[in-house]
Structure 1
Amino acid sequence: MATEIYAVQMTPPQSTARRNSSGLGRDIEIIELLGSDEAVAEGGLGVMRIAQLTGRDKAVISRTMSTLADAELVVRDETTMNYRLGSRLFAIAARTTEASLVSRARPHLRNIAQSTRETTHLCVLRGGNVLTVLSELSPHEFRTTGWEGVTTAAWRTPSGRVLISDWDRASLTRWYHEHGRDQPLVGPLNPSMAAAGFAVLETPPENKAIVRDLDSLLVELQRIRERGYATLDEELELGVVGASAPITDFTGHIVAAINVSAPKSRIGGQLDRLGAYVAQAARELSSSLGAPTAMA
């Protein structure tokens, strides 16, 4: 889900204070205009309209827009010639959101790890797969590994399946065709995991595989929506089980997932009980992010 840049009501400036401000201030003014209701409705704004709204010379605006486009802060539609907010701006916004999320989630993850006495992770979707941005380790000497900074295939993990569980079918179909056969480790291991010789199963055991094709993925996602959590039983690592649940923000959309992983020898037949606990913990964190009551 793309991070939203909020719209502002747009009227031509009435004073020259902003118009005669620094170059950075003038660039920010243009970026704000491209996030306005009018720009969103029209699919962007052209040089003439931006010049009109800012009260600045068309040639100056044209040069400014070229500079912003080179920095990927704005992008130009080759058909309409209108400018829209660019991918780099959204990427910066997404990183800011993630930093805030990690800060909010840290005490929650610490409480979950202390309550379950198992390793707990905060995961987000990045490039169609799962990035672990925070881990709290189990106090047990025998425990699962912290995954901070590691990217894994979403189709192989409960966190990944949770993170896409609120998508529509068309989006899921596109995603599956692109990522439904990604390798279990999409990015490199962190140094501590690599030094320990850590490895995952290249393919899930036949009797443990949850996702075999698009249809089985859709069935599993419906199950996640009904239960409020997803589970894993030695699908990625031998002897390791886990449960994940979605975190929603004030828009009601899933922005992250909590995952608790543990040796199967300690969890035994209580995996669904763990899943229900993680789902409740995720609802509490979602509430702190302003999620609607029905979602939290």
Structure 2
Amino acid sequence: MSAPRIAVGLRRDLEILEVLRSPEATRGAGLSVTRIAELTGREKSQVSRALAGMKEEGLVDRDPETLTYRCGWRLFALAAATGESRLVQMAAPSLRRLVSQVHETAYLCVLRGRSVMTLLTEASPHAFRSLGWDGLTVPVIQTSAGRALISDWEDAVVRASFADEAFHEAPSPQRLRTVDDLIDELSLIRTMGYSKVDGELEDGLVGVSAPVRDFRGRIAAAINIVAPRNRLQNQLDAAGRLTVRCAAQLSRTLGYAGASAEGAPDDAPAHPTPS
């Protein structure tokens, strides 16, 4: 097939996908072949063949009962990958600035089910530093990043999601013991603007995290600082306020209009005093 014909076919497929992301399609149960043909101004047989090909590739899904079509899983996977790649690029300068202020390692984290995955690590200048976690996952409730990422969840959703969590297996007295403890902790995070942990993922480490919001105001990521307890414990709240500012700046870059100019109280110091 020649390049011009491929381009024409691609353009026609994109027209179908544009129709399938319209409010008419997303508010209801999808669109029928007949309706898609009407909206694109094409023959029903042409649309049917195009949809069959796209269904094989995961670009559209077909409801077996209503026979209507929606955007498929592969489109959402591609969109997520593209969005995260953009998020990493935008976050890198913010993390570097934060590390220059706090002098500790900073991370950009996202939610993966009931786990937290690190997308980006900006190392501290210290000879002894936290390990890089890029691509690795850790449990939500054991980390300040995980708690920040779910801090806007409704109580009922938290209970349903973590009712079977093994809170009783806490390795340290700081670890949350029940789902009610977790709900209280999330309320505190919403008040403070950041979360903090002490020895709950790994003994001897402390951490703080603040949520990053996208243009819709939804939590899309968390910025996290982790350091040895003997270096940061006495300055953990100061580091938390700086992390809030960093997260607010990144949120504004992502189009969130609700981020304040500073993102943290005015009394947050320029940098915590190294312990």
Do both share a fold (TM > 0.5)?
yes
Question: In 2, distance between residues paired with 1:135 and 1:118?
Answer: 11
Match for residue 209 of structure 1 among 175, 186, 196:
175
Report the counterpart of residue 138 of structure 1 in structure 2: 124
Instruction: Give the alignment's TM-score, normalised by structure 2.
Output: 0.86
* 3-state SS of paired residue (1:138): coil
Write out per-residue CA displacement over residues 12-64 of structure 1, whole angstroms, 9 at most, x where no aligned residue: xxxxxxxx962111111111000012112322100111112222222232222
Q: What is the CA–CA distance in structure 2 between the aligned matches of 1:217 and 1:163, rounded to whole Å?
A: 13
What residue is the counterpart of 1:35 in the other structure? 21
How many residue pairs get matched?
A: 257
Q: Does 1:24 align with 2:10?
A: yes
2:39 corresponding residue in structure 1: 53
Equivalent in 197, 200, 217 of residue 232 of structure 1: 197
C-alpha distance in 1, partners of 2:157/2:58?
A: 25
Deviation by residue 1:227-263 (Cα, 9 ceiling, x = unmatched): 1100010111111101000011111111000000001
1:146: how far off?
1.5
1:50–1:61 CA contact under 8 A, matched in 2: yes
The structure in which a higher percent of residues are helix is 2
Q: Where does structure 1 lack aligned partners over 5 or more consecutive residues? A: 1-19, 183-202
Q: 1:238 to 1:27 in 2, by over 3 A?
A: same
Deviations 1:84-104 (A, max 9, x none): 112221111111111111111
> Does structure 2 conserve the Cα–Cα contact (< 8 Å) formed by 1:204 and 1:236?
no
Q: 1:63 aligns with which of 49, 55, 62?
A: 49
Select which of 221, 231, 238 maps to 1:256.
221
Distance (whole Å) between structure 2 residues aligned to residue 266 and residue 21 of structure 1: 58
CA contact (8 A) 1:162 1:230 kept: yes
Alpha-carbon offset, residue 80 of structure 1: 2.2
Q: 4+ residue runs of structure 1 moved beyond 4 angstroms? A: none
The residue matched to 1:146 in structure 2 has which SS? coil
Matched, 1:241 2:206: yes
- TM-score of the superposed pair, with normalisation by structure 1: 0.81
Which whole-Å CA distance do the structure 2 matches of 1:169 and 1:271 have between them? 27
Q: CA RMSD in A?
A: 2.2
Tell me the residue number matched to 1:7: none
Q: Give runs of aligned pairs for residues 1-296 of structure 1, distance below 5 A.
A: 22-177=8-163, 180-181=165-166, 204-210=170-176, 212-294=177-259
Q: Which amino acid aligns with 1:113?
A: V
Q: Equivalents in 2 of 1:273, 1:113: separation in Å?
A: 13
Q: Percent identity?
A: 46
For 2:173, the aligned partner's letter is N
With 68-77 and 152-161 compared, the bigger mean Cα shift is at 68-77
Letter in 1 for 2:150: I
1:74, distance to aligned residue in structure 2 (A): 1.4
What is the CA–CA distance in structure 1 between the aligned matches of 2:59 and 2:166, rounded to whole Å? 33
**CA distance 1:292–1:35, shift in 2 (3 Å):** same
Work out the CA distance in 2 between the residues paired with 1:294 and 1:105.
16
Residue identity in the other structure for 1:285:
L
